[in-house]
Structure 1
Amino acid sequence: MELRQIQYFIEVAKREHVTDAANMLHVAQSAVSRQIFNLEQELGVELFIREGRNVKLTPIGRVFLEHMKEAVQVIDNAKREVEEFLDPERGTIRIGFPSSMANYTLPTVISVFREKHPLVKFKLIQGTYHYLTDAVVNGEIDIAVLGPVPKDEKKLKSVVLFQERFVALLPSNHHLSGNRTISLSQLREDQFVLFPNGFILREIVVNACKQNGFLPDVSFEGQDIDAIKGLVSAGLGVTLIPEITLIDSHPRSTVKVHITDPEVTRSVGIIIPKERELLPTEKLFYNFLKNFFAMLGGFNK
C-alpha cells in the first residue's frame, strides 16, 4: 500500500467523483482509477460502489476511510514535528476560534505573538463551539480558543484565560436605551435576536433568561456576531453578546447597556488534546497565550 494510493482514495471518497478528484490532484483520471483499482486488489475488497461517473463508499470503504484519515494525520504530524524540531520558529499553528473571537481577541493575541516570532505561520479555522471541540479531539486542529471552557472532557485539556461579561445590545430607540444598567428581567417582553439552536452563545442567553423566570421570544436568528449586530441595528430585537465583541465594531443605531442583575458571564480559554503532545511551535504559542493573559490579569488587579 502506497501513500499516493491512500491520498487518491481519500480525495475520491471526499468528492464521490473520480474526475473531480483527478482535477483536484492535478493528475489524469486514468491514473486515479488505476491506483484505486490496485488498492482494492491489494486489500481484496471493493471500497466503492460505481454509479455511472459517481462513486460511493461501501460499508467497509467507510471504515477504511476513517483509518486512512487518521494515518495521513499521523504522517503529516510526523513531518511537521521533524521540521519544527529543526526550527520551532518557522512552524505552523492550526488554531480554531468562534466568530465571537474573530474581531478582537484572537487578532490581538496573534499580532503580539508575531512581533516576537515573525516567521511562525498560522492556519485559522473558524467554527461553532461543538465543531471546535470535536476538531481538537480528532486532530483537525491543534488548539482552540473559545468560551465557555468545557469541563470534564476526557480527551481535552482546558485552561481558563479570563472571564468575559455579556452586555445587552439595544436599538437606540429602545425605551431602556438611556439606562446605564438594567436587570435581565426588564427585557422579558422584548423580542430577541440570537444565534440558531445548537450555538453555545444562544444556550448561554437562553439559560440566563430561564434562571430569571422567562424564556426569550426569539424573533430573528443570525449565524455570526456581525449578523446579530446588524439585525439589532435594524430594530428587529435586542440581544446579549460578549462585551469584547463591541470594542472595534459598534453598530450604528444601537446602544450598549450593562446587565447587573444578574451579571451574565462566560469563561474564555484554550483547549488542547489530552492524548497527544503539542508540536514545538504549538507549545510556543500555547505557553505564550497563558503568559499573555496572566500578565493582563495581574495588570488589571
Structure 2
Amino acid sequence: MELRQLRYFVEVAEREHVSEAAVHLHIAQSAVSRQISKLEDELGILLFEKTGRNIQLTTIGKIFLFHAKTAIQAIEYAKYQIEEFLDPEHGTIKIGFPTSLSTHLLPTVISAFKDEQPNIGFHLRQGSYSSLKEAVKNREIGLAFLGPIPINDPDIEGHILFTENISALLPITHPLAERKSLRLSDLRNDPFVLFPKGYILHSIAIEACKAAGFAPNITSEGEDMDSIKGLVSAGIGVSLLPDSTFYEVTPRLTVKIPIDTPEVKRTVGIITPKNRELAPSEELFYQFAKKFFSVLEQYQ
C-alpha cells in the first residue's frame, strides 16, 4: 500500500468521479483507475460501486476512507515535525482562534512574537469553539486560543492566560444607559441580541441569565462580533460580551456597563493536544504566550 494510492483514493471518494479526481490531481484518468484497482486487490475488497455515471463508496469503503484520511494526516504531520526539528526558527505555526479574540489579543501576541522570531511564519484559522477543539485533536492545527478553556477533555490540555469579565452592551438610548453597573436581572424584560445556539458565547449568556433568575428573550442573532455590536447600536436589543472585545473603543451609540450580580466571567487561554508533543516552533510560541500574558498581568 502506497501513500500515493491513499491520496488517489481519498480524492476519488470525495468527488465520486474518477475523471474529476484525475483532473484535480493533474494525472491521467487511467493512472488513477489503475492505482485504485491495485489498492482494492491488495485489500481484497471493493471500495467503490457504480451509480449511473458516477461512483460511490461501498460500506467498507466508507470505513476505509476514515482511516485513510487519518493515515495521511499523521504522515503529513510527521513530515512537518521533521522539518521543524531540522530548522525550528524557520517553521510555520498553525494557530486557531475564535472571532471574540481576533481584534486585539491575537494581533498583539503575534506581533510581539514576530519581533523576537521574525523568520517563523503563521497559518491562522478562525473557527467556532467546537471546531477549534476538533482541529487541535485531529492535527489540523497545532494549538488554539480559546475562551473559556475547556475542562475534563481527555485529549486537550488547557492553559489559562487570563480571566475577564462579561459586560452588558446597551443602546445609548436605553433607560439604564447612565448606570455605572447593573444587576443582570435589570435586563430581564429587554430583547437580547446573541450569537446563535451552538456558539460558546450564546451558552455563556444563557447560563448567566439563568443564574440571574430569568430566560432571555432572544429577538436577534449575529454570527460575528461586528454584527452583534451593530444590532445593539441600532437599538434592536442588549447583549452580553467579553471585555476584551471592547479594547480601546465601545461601538458608537452604545454603552458598556459592568455586571455586578451575578459575576459573569470567562477564562481565556491556549489549548494544546495531550496525545502528542508540539513542534519546536509551536513550543516556542506557546512558552512565549504564557510569559507574555504573565508579564501583562503583573502590570494590570
Shorter-chain TM-score bucket reads over 0.9
Kept in 2, the 8 Å contact 1:103–1:248? The answer is no
Kept in 2, the 8 Å contact 1:18–1:53? The answer is no
Deviation, structure 1 residue 194: 0.7
Kept in 2, the 8 Å contact 1:94–1:142? The answer is yes
**Mapping of residues 92-103 of structure 1, within 5 Å:** 92-103=92-103
Deviation, structure 1 residue 110: 0.8
Amino acid at match of 2:94: R
Q: CA RMSD in A?
A: 1.6
Deviation, structure 1 residue 31: 2.9
Amino acid at match of 1:225: M
Deviation, structure 1 residue 147: 0.8
Amino acid at match of 1:221: E
**Mapping of residues 24-173 of structure 1, within 5 Å:** 24-173=24-173
The structure-2 alpha-carbon separation of the partners of 1:54 and 1:194, relative to structure 1 and needing over 3 Å to count, comes to farther
User: Partner residue of 2:178?
Assistant: 178
Cα distance between partner residues in 2 of 1:148 and 1:127: 14
Deviation, structure 1 residue 191: 0.5
Alignment TM-score, normalising by the size of structure 2: 0.95
The structure-2 alpha-carbon separation of the partners of 1:28 and 1:228, relative to structure 1 and needing over 3 Å to count, comes to farther
User: Partner residue of 1:190?
Assistant: 190
1:282 maps onto 2:282 in alignment: yes
Cα distance between partner residues in 1 of 2:95 and 2:160: 16
Cα distance between partner residues in 1 of 2:123 and 2:50: 36
Cα distance between partner residues in 2 of 1:101 and 1:256: 18
Cα distance between partner residues in 2 of 1:207 and 1:167: 14
The DSSP-based 3-state class of the residue aligned with 2:136 is helix
The structure-2 alpha-carbon separation of the partners of 1:49 and 1:233, relative to structure 1 and needing over 3 Å to count, comes to farther
User: Partner residue of 1:241?
Assistant: 241
Cα distance between partner residues in 1 of 2:15 and 2:249: 39
User: Partner residue of 1:228?
Assistant: 228
Structure 2 portions without partners, runs of 5+: none
The DSSP-based 3-state class of the residue aligned with 1:177 is coil
Cα distance between partner residues in 1 of 2:52 and 2:225: 44
The structure-2 alpha-carbon separation of the partners of 1:185 and 1:12, relative to structure 1 and needing over 3 Å to count, comes to same
The DSSP-based 3-state class of the residue aligned with 1:24 is helix
The structure-2 alpha-carbon separation of the partners of 1:62 and 1:108, relative to structure 1 and needing over 3 Å to count, comes to same
How many percent of aligned residue pairs carry the same amino acid?
Answer: 55
Q: Higher mean Cα deviation, 222-231 or 284-293?
A: 222-231
Kept in 1, the 8 Å contact 2:211–2:262? The answer is no
User: Partner residue of 2:5?
Assistant: 5
Cα distance between partner residues in 2 of 1:292 and 1:126: 22
Deviation, structure 1 residue 249: 6.0
Amino acid at match of 2:237: G
The DSSP-based 3-state class of the residue aligned with 1:269 is strand
The DSSP-based 3-state class of the residue aligned with 1:45 is coil
The DSSP-based 3-state class of the residue aligned with 2:111 is helix
Alignment TM-score, normalising by the size of structure 1: 0.94
Cα distance between partner residues in 1 of 2:19 and 2:214: 55
Cα distance between partner residues in 2 of 1:54 and 1:165: 54
The DSSP-based 3-state class of the residue aligned with 2:162 is strand
Residues paired across the two proteins, number: 300
The DSSP-based 3-state class of the residue aligned with 1:118 is coil
Q: Higher mean Cα deviation, 68-77 or 238-247?
A: 68-77
